[in-house]
Amino acid sequence: MPAGMTTPQPFSFPDDQIATFRAFADRLADAAREAILPHFRTRGLDIENKSKAAFDPVTEADRGAERAMRALIEATYPDHGIEGEEFGVKPSVSGWSWVLDPVDGTRAFVAGLPLWGTLIGLTWQSRPVIGIIDQAYLGERFRGWPGGAEVEDRHGVRPLRVRPCADLREAVAATTDVHLFTPSEAGGFEMVRRTAPITRYGCDCYAYAMAASGFVDLVIESGLKPHDVAGLIPVVEGAGGLVTNWRGGPAWRGGQVIAAGDPRPHEQALVVLRRAAD
Protein backbone atom coordinates (compact mmCIF):
# COMPACT_ATOMS: atom_id res chain seq x y z
CA MET A 1 0.00 0.00 0.00
CA PRO A 2 1.35 3.50 -0.80
CA ALA A 3 2.68 5.35 2.24
CA GLY A 4 0.09 7.58 3.89
CA MET A 5 -2.85 6.11 2.03
CA THR A 6 -5.91 5.07 4.01
CA THR A 7 -7.92 1.97 3.16
CA PRO A 8 -11.69 2.21 3.66
CA GLN A 9 -13.45 -0.84 5.02
CA PRO A 10 -14.94 -3.04 2.27
CA PHE A 11 -18.61 -2.81 1.46
CA SER A 12 -21.04 -5.49 2.52
CA PHE A 13 -24.39 -5.22 0.75
CA PRO A 14 -26.66 -8.03 -0.44
CA ASP A 15 -26.01 -9.00 -4.07
CA ASP A 16 -29.68 -8.63 -4.97
CA GLN A 17 -29.75 -5.10 -3.56
CA ILE A 18 -26.72 -4.09 -5.61
CA ALA A 19 -28.24 -5.70 -8.72
CA THR A 20 -31.48 -3.77 -8.20
CA PHE A 21 -29.69 -0.47 -7.78
CA ARG A 22 -27.47 -1.15 -10.79
CA ALA A 23 -30.52 -1.76 -12.96
CA PHE A 24 -32.11 1.45 -11.72
CA ALA A 25 -28.92 3.41 -12.43
CA ASP A 26 -29.21 2.20 -16.03
CA ARG A 27 -32.77 3.53 -16.15
CA LEU A 28 -31.47 6.90 -15.02
CA ALA A 29 -28.75 6.88 -17.68
CA ASP A 30 -31.32 5.97 -20.35
CA ALA A 31 -33.54 8.87 -19.27
CA ALA A 32 -30.58 11.26 -19.37
CA ARG A 33 -29.63 10.08 -22.88
CA GLU A 34 -33.14 10.77 -24.12
CA ALA A 35 -33.03 14.29 -22.72
CA ILE A 36 -29.50 15.15 -23.84
CA LEU A 37 -28.97 13.78 -27.33
CA PRO A 38 -31.51 16.02 -29.14
CA HIS A 39 -29.38 19.02 -28.06
CA PHE A 40 -25.91 17.73 -28.96
CA ARG A 41 -24.35 19.26 -32.07
CA THR A 42 -27.37 21.43 -32.73
CA ARG A 43 -26.95 24.99 -33.96
CA GLY A 44 -28.50 27.74 -31.90
CA LEU A 45 -28.13 25.91 -28.59
CA ASP A 46 -28.98 28.31 -25.77
CA ILE A 47 -25.95 28.58 -23.48
CA GLU A 48 -26.18 30.37 -20.13
CA ASN A 49 -23.44 31.33 -17.69
CA LYS A 50 -24.48 30.30 -14.17
CA SER A 51 -21.49 31.89 -12.41
CA LYS A 52 -20.60 35.50 -11.74
CA ALA A 53 -16.98 34.65 -10.95
CA ALA A 54 -16.05 32.73 -14.13
CA PHE A 55 -17.66 31.23 -17.21
CA ASP A 56 -19.62 28.15 -16.13
CA PRO A 57 -21.92 27.12 -18.97
CA VAL A 58 -25.24 25.33 -18.63
CA THR A 59 -27.75 24.30 -21.30
CA GLU A 60 -31.18 22.72 -21.46
CA ALA A 61 -29.43 19.39 -21.96
CA ASP A 62 -28.02 19.67 -18.42
CA ARG A 63 -31.28 20.78 -16.87
CA GLY A 64 -33.57 18.47 -18.80
CA ALA A 65 -31.46 15.41 -18.02
CA GLU A 66 -31.31 16.17 -14.32
CA ARG A 67 -35.06 16.84 -14.17
CA ALA A 68 -35.73 13.47 -15.82
CA MET A 69 -33.42 11.59 -13.45
CA ARG A 70 -34.76 13.33 -10.34
CA ALA A 71 -38.33 12.51 -11.30
CA LEU A 72 -37.47 8.80 -11.61
CA ILE A 73 -35.67 8.75 -8.26
CA GLU A 74 -38.47 10.55 -6.44
CA ALA A 75 -41.06 8.17 -7.90
CA THR A 76 -39.09 4.99 -7.19
CA TYR A 77 -37.03 5.72 -4.07
CA PRO A 78 -38.68 8.63 -2.24
CA ASP A 79 -36.55 8.02 0.86
CA HIS A 80 -33.28 8.38 -1.09
CA GLY A 81 -31.47 11.68 -1.23
CA ILE A 82 -30.59 13.49 -4.45
CA GLU A 83 -27.57 15.72 -4.99
CA GLY A 84 -27.54 17.25 -8.44
CA GLU A 85 -25.35 19.86 -10.08
CA GLU A 86 -28.24 21.90 -11.42
CA PHE A 87 -31.03 21.62 -8.83
CA GLY A 88 -29.30 21.13 -5.51
CA VAL A 89 -29.77 18.71 -2.65
CA LYS A 90 -32.73 16.73 -1.39
CA PRO A 91 -31.65 15.20 1.96
CA SER A 92 -31.70 11.44 2.39
CA VAL A 93 -33.73 9.75 5.11
CA SER A 94 -32.39 6.27 4.32
CA GLY A 95 -28.64 6.85 4.06
CA TRP A 96 -28.72 6.32 0.28
CA SER A 97 -28.27 9.26 -2.09
CA TRP A 98 -28.07 9.63 -5.85
CA VAL A 99 -25.41 12.12 -6.95
CA LEU A 100 -25.96 13.45 -10.46
CA ASP A 101 -23.93 15.39 -13.00
CA PRO A 102 -26.16 15.36 -16.09
CA VAL A 103 -23.47 16.69 -18.44
CA ASP A 104 -19.96 16.57 -17.05
CA GLY A 105 -17.91 18.53 -19.56
CA THR A 106 -20.45 21.09 -20.74
CA ARG A 107 -17.68 23.05 -22.47
CA ALA A 108 -16.89 19.99 -24.59
CA PHE A 109 -20.62 19.51 -25.17
CA VAL A 110 -21.15 23.01 -26.57
CA ALA A 111 -17.98 22.63 -28.67
CA GLY A 112 -19.40 19.48 -30.26
CA LEU A 113 -16.68 17.24 -28.78
CA PRO A 114 -17.82 13.78 -27.56
CA LEU A 115 -15.75 13.92 -24.37
CA TRP A 116 -18.60 14.85 -22.03
CA GLY A 117 -20.57 12.29 -20.07
CA THR A 118 -23.46 11.78 -17.68
CA LEU A 119 -22.27 10.86 -14.19
CA ILE A 120 -24.55 8.91 -11.87
CA GLY A 121 -23.38 7.87 -8.43
CA LEU A 122 -25.21 6.05 -5.67
CA THR A 123 -23.70 6.72 -2.26
CA TRP A 124 -24.19 5.15 1.15
CA GLN A 125 -23.57 7.76 3.86
CA SER A 126 -21.51 9.82 1.38
CA ARG A 127 -19.35 6.92 0.16
CA PRO A 128 -19.80 6.03 -3.54
CA VAL A 129 -21.08 2.49 -4.06
CA ILE A 130 -22.35 2.32 -7.66
CA GLY A 131 -21.28 4.55 -10.53
CA ILE A 132 -21.98 5.16 -14.20
CA ILE A 133 -20.08 7.20 -16.77
CA ASP A 134 -22.34 7.38 -19.81
CA GLN A 135 -21.12 8.79 -23.13
CA ALA A 136 -24.45 8.83 -24.94
CA TYR A 137 -23.26 10.03 -28.35
CA LEU A 138 -20.66 7.27 -28.68
CA GLY A 139 -23.02 4.74 -27.13
CA GLU A 140 -20.55 3.86 -24.36
CA ARG A 141 -21.64 3.14 -20.81
CA PHE A 142 -19.06 2.45 -18.11
CA ARG A 143 -20.43 0.86 -14.92
CA GLY A 144 -18.79 0.23 -11.56
CA TRP A 145 -19.89 -1.45 -8.33
CA PRO A 146 -18.20 -3.12 -5.34
CA GLY A 147 -15.76 -5.62 -6.80
CA GLY A 148 -16.42 -5.10 -10.50
CA ALA A 149 -16.71 -2.83 -13.51
CA GLU A 150 -17.76 -3.19 -17.14
CA VAL A 151 -18.33 -1.25 -20.32
CA GLU A 152 -21.21 -1.64 -22.75
CA ASP A 153 -20.69 -0.36 -26.27
CA ARG A 154 -21.24 -1.38 -29.89
CA HIS A 155 -19.11 -4.48 -29.28
CA GLY A 156 -21.29 -5.69 -26.41
CA VAL A 157 -20.54 -5.91 -22.68
CA ARG A 158 -17.08 -6.73 -21.35
CA PRO A 159 -15.19 -6.33 -18.05
CA LEU A 160 -13.09 -3.27 -17.36
CA ARG A 161 -9.59 -3.65 -15.99
CA VAL A 162 -6.86 -1.11 -15.34
CA ARG A 163 -3.39 -1.85 -16.64
CA PRO A 164 -0.13 -2.24 -14.73
CA CYS A 165 2.25 0.71 -14.85
CA ALA A 166 5.49 0.31 -12.91
CA ASP A 167 6.73 3.88 -13.01
CA LEU A 168 5.58 7.45 -13.60
CA ARG A 169 8.13 7.58 -16.42
CA GLU A 170 5.92 5.10 -18.30
CA ALA A 171 2.56 6.69 -17.50
CA VAL A 172 -0.12 8.39 -19.54
CA ALA A 173 -1.41 11.30 -17.45
CA ALA A 174 -4.44 13.53 -17.94
CA THR A 175 -6.14 16.61 -16.55
CA THR A 176 -9.01 18.70 -17.82
CA ASP A 177 -7.35 22.15 -17.79
CA VAL A 178 -4.14 23.31 -16.13
CA HIS A 179 -5.67 26.77 -15.72
CA LEU A 180 -8.06 25.33 -13.14
CA PHE A 181 -5.13 24.76 -10.74
CA THR A 182 -3.85 27.30 -8.24
CA PRO A 183 -0.21 28.29 -8.80
CA SER A 184 1.05 25.77 -6.23
CA GLU A 185 -1.17 23.02 -7.63
CA ALA A 186 0.00 23.83 -11.14
CA GLY A 187 3.61 23.51 -9.98
CA GLY A 188 2.97 20.03 -8.63
CA PHE A 189 1.17 18.95 -11.77
CA GLU A 190 3.97 20.35 -13.93
CA MET A 191 6.47 18.08 -12.18
CA VAL A 192 4.25 15.09 -12.95
CA ARG A 193 3.83 16.24 -16.55
CA ARG A 194 7.58 16.53 -17.04
CA THR A 195 8.06 12.95 -15.86
CA ALA A 196 5.19 11.25 -17.66
CA PRO A 197 5.89 10.75 -21.37
CA ILE A 198 2.30 11.49 -22.46
CA THR A 199 -0.15 14.01 -21.00
CA ARG A 200 -3.62 14.69 -22.41
CA TYR A 201 -6.00 17.57 -21.70
CA GLY A 202 -9.69 18.42 -21.94
CA CYS A 203 -11.15 14.95 -21.44
CA ASP A 204 -13.28 15.66 -18.34
CA CYS A 205 -14.89 12.44 -17.08
CA TYR A 206 -13.80 10.49 -20.16
CA ALA A 207 -10.23 10.40 -18.83
CA TYR A 208 -11.44 8.39 -15.83
CA ALA A 209 -13.28 6.00 -18.14
CA MET A 210 -10.03 5.49 -20.02
CA ALA A 211 -8.17 4.89 -16.76
CA ALA A 212 -10.67 2.16 -15.91
CA SER A 213 -10.23 0.80 -19.44
CA GLY A 214 -6.45 0.53 -19.14
CA PHE A 215 -5.38 3.34 -21.46
CA VAL A 216 -4.70 6.22 -19.02
CA ASP A 217 -2.61 5.72 -15.88
CA LEU A 218 -3.19 8.95 -13.91
CA VAL A 219 -5.90 11.59 -13.82
CA ILE A 220 -5.06 14.63 -11.69
CA GLU A 221 -7.58 17.37 -10.94
CA SER A 222 -8.59 19.96 -8.36
CA GLY A 223 -11.67 21.92 -7.36
CA LEU A 224 -14.06 19.02 -7.95
CA LYS A 225 -17.50 18.80 -6.36
CA PRO A 226 -19.27 15.65 -5.12
CA HIS A 227 -21.26 15.39 -8.35
CA ASP A 228 -17.96 15.38 -10.28
CA VAL A 229 -16.63 12.26 -8.53
CA ALA A 230 -19.45 10.09 -7.13
CA GLY A 231 -20.09 8.42 -10.48
CA LEU A 232 -16.40 8.04 -11.33
CA ILE A 233 -14.99 6.43 -8.21
CA PRO A 234 -16.89 3.09 -8.39
CA VAL A 235 -15.92 2.68 -12.06
CA VAL A 236 -12.19 3.19 -11.47
CA GLU A 237 -12.13 1.20 -8.24
CA GLY A 238 -14.30 -1.58 -9.64
CA ALA A 239 -11.77 -1.94 -12.48
CA GLY A 240 -8.95 -2.39 -9.96
CA GLY A 241 -7.76 1.21 -9.70
CA LEU A 242 -7.76 3.75 -6.91
CA VAL A 243 -9.06 7.28 -6.41
CA THR A 244 -7.78 9.45 -3.56
CA ASN A 245 -7.21 13.04 -2.62
CA TRP A 246 -3.73 14.57 -2.87
CA ARG A 247 -2.87 13.32 0.62
CA GLY A 248 -3.81 9.74 -0.19
CA GLY A 249 -7.13 9.81 1.66
CA PRO A 250 -10.72 9.38 0.44
CA ALA A 251 -11.89 11.68 -2.36
CA TRP A 252 -15.60 11.01 -1.94
CA ARG A 253 -16.52 14.70 -1.66
CA GLY A 254 -14.23 15.93 -4.43
CA GLY A 255 -11.59 18.61 -4.02
CA GLN A 256 -8.07 17.65 -5.11
CA VAL A 257 -8.37 14.25 -6.78
CA ILE A 258 -5.96 11.76 -8.29
CA ALA A 259 -7.14 8.56 -9.98
CA ALA A 260 -4.73 5.81 -10.95
CA GLY A 261 -4.74 2.36 -12.40
CA ASP A 262 -1.59 1.24 -10.58
CA PRO A 263 -0.51 2.31 -7.07
CA ARG A 264 3.12 2.80 -8.08
CA PRO A 265 2.82 5.94 -10.26
CA HIS A 266 0.05 7.09 -7.92
CA GLU A 267 2.47 7.18 -5.00
CA GLN A 268 5.20 8.81 -7.11
CA ALA A 269 2.79 11.56 -8.13
CA LEU A 270 1.67 12.08 -4.53
CA VAL A 271 5.25 12.86 -3.51
CA VAL A 272 5.02 16.19 -5.36
CA LEU A 273 1.25 16.77 -5.15
CA ARG A 274 1.21 16.53 -1.33
CA ARG A 275 3.18 19.81 -1.22
CA ALA A 276 0.10 21.58 -2.59
CA ALA A 277 -2.50 19.46 -0.79
CA ASP A 278 -5.28 21.12 1.15
Sheet of 96-104, strand order? 88-90, 81-84, 96-104, 117-124, 127-135, 140-145, 148-153, 156-159
Residue 5 has pLDDT above 70, yes or no: no
Q: What percentage of residues in the chain have a pLDDT greater than 90?
A: 88
Task: Say what the pLDDT of residue 8 is.
Answer: 62
Closest CA relative to residue 148, chosen from 234, 206, 261: 234
Closest CA to 66 of 22, 100, 106, 18: 100
Residue 219 bridge partners (DSSP): 174, 259
Q: Which fold has domain 15-159?
A: Fructose-1,6-Bisphosphatase; Chain A, domain 1 (3.30.540)
Q: In what order do the strands lie in the sheet with 242-245?
A: 198-201, 172-175, 218-224, 255-260, 242-245
Q: How many CB atoms lie within 10 A of CB 155?
A: 8
What are the domain boundaries of the chain?
Answer: 15-159, 168-276
pLDDT tens for each residue of 100-113 = 999 999 999 999 99
- The structure's pTM equals 0.94
Going by pLDDT thresholds of 50, 70 and 90, the confidence category of residue 50 is confident
Pairing type for strands 81-84 and 96-104 reads parallel
Mean pLDDT, residues 255-276: 97
- Average pLDDT over every residue of 264-277: 97
pLDDT at 44: 83
β-sheet bridge partners, residue 153? 156
The residue-averaged pLDDT of 252-261 equals 97
Q: What is the pLDDT of residues 226-241, one digit of tens each?
A: 999 999 999 999 999 9
The CATH code of domain 168-276 reads 3.40.190.80
Cα torsion for 55, 61, 63, 69, to the nearest 10°? -140
pLDDT given for residue 147 in this prediction: 92
What pLDDT sits at residue 46? 87
Q: What is the pLDDT of residue 2?
A: 47
**Is the pLDDT at 259 greater than 80, yes or no?**
yes
Q: In this predicted model, what pLDDT tens digit does every residue of 18-49 receive, in sequence order? A: 999 999 999 999 999 999 999 999 988 888 88
For residue 247, pLDDT beyond 70: yes
28 and 121 Cβ atoms separated by less than 8 Å: no
